[in-house]
């Protein structure tokens, strides 16, 4: 079974631009969560989607948004990029939403904002 895939793996943008990252979950998984990882803040939860609905949201500004499609694939969008948005963005999929569902992580997208 193929793992979680994320595209692109690396991205360089300039301040003020917007970016869209993509995540394809493991086949059969319906929940996708997004995380931001930086050296200073560590790994922080962005949001979770389940059956095309956002179930959970972390403490990030409205510039960060996401969506999930009927095939469970998910996209994350960041508008008006800032230097501080440079990070490794990880998505994780699980079979369902709820308690004690093992989350399988993708390799991440490394975003650099210049």
Partner 1 sequence: SQELEQSPQSLIVQEGKNLTINCTSSKTLYGLYWYKQKYGEGLIFLMMLQKGGEEKSHEKITAKLDEKKQQSSLHITASQPSHAGIYLCGAALITQGGSEKLVFGKGMKLTVNP
Residues that bind partner 1 (CB under 8 A): 4, 31, 33, 35, 42-45, 48, 50, 55-56, 58, 88, 90, 92, 97-108, 110
Minimum CB distance to partner 1 smaller for 18 or for 55: 55
Residue closest to 35 by CA, chosen among 108, 97, 96, 91: 91
Per 3-state DSSP, what percentage of the chain is helix, strand, and coil (rounded to 5)?
5, 55, 45
Taking the complex as a whole, the smallest distance from the CB of residue 82 to partner 1 amounts, in Å, to 21
Q: Are 103 and 33 in contact (CB under 8 A)?
A: yes
Taking the complex as a whole, the smallest distance from the CB of residue 56 to partner 1 amounts, in Å, to 5
Minimum CB distance to partner 1 smaller for 81 or for 90: 90
Taking the complex as a whole, the smallest distance from the CB of residue 20 to partner 1 amounts, in Å, to 19
Number of Cβ atoms within 10 Å of the Cβ of 32:
29
Cα–Cα distance measured from residue 69 to residue 80, given in angstroms and rounded to the nearest whole number: 24
Cα–Cα distance measured from residue 42 to residue 57, given in angstroms and rounded to the nearest whole number: 17
Taking the complex as a whole, the smallest distance from the CB of residue 26 to partner 1 amounts, in Å, to 12
Minimum CB distance to partner 1 smaller for 17 or for 56: 56
């Amino acid at each position: 079974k193929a793992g979680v895939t994320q595209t692109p793996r690396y991205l360089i943008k300039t301040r003020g631009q917007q970016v869209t990252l993509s995540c394809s979950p493991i086949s059969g998984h319906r929940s996708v969560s997004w995380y931001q990882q930086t050296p200073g803040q560590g790994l922080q939860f962005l949001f979770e989607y389940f059956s095309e609905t956002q179930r959970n949201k972390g403490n990030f500004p409205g510039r960060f948004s996401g969506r999930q499609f009927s095939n469970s694939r998910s996209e994350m969008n960041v508008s008006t990029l800032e230097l501080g948005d440079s990070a490794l963005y990880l998505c994780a999929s699980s079979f369902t939403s709820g308690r004690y569902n093992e989350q399988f992580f993708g390799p991440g997208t490394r975003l650099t904002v210049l």
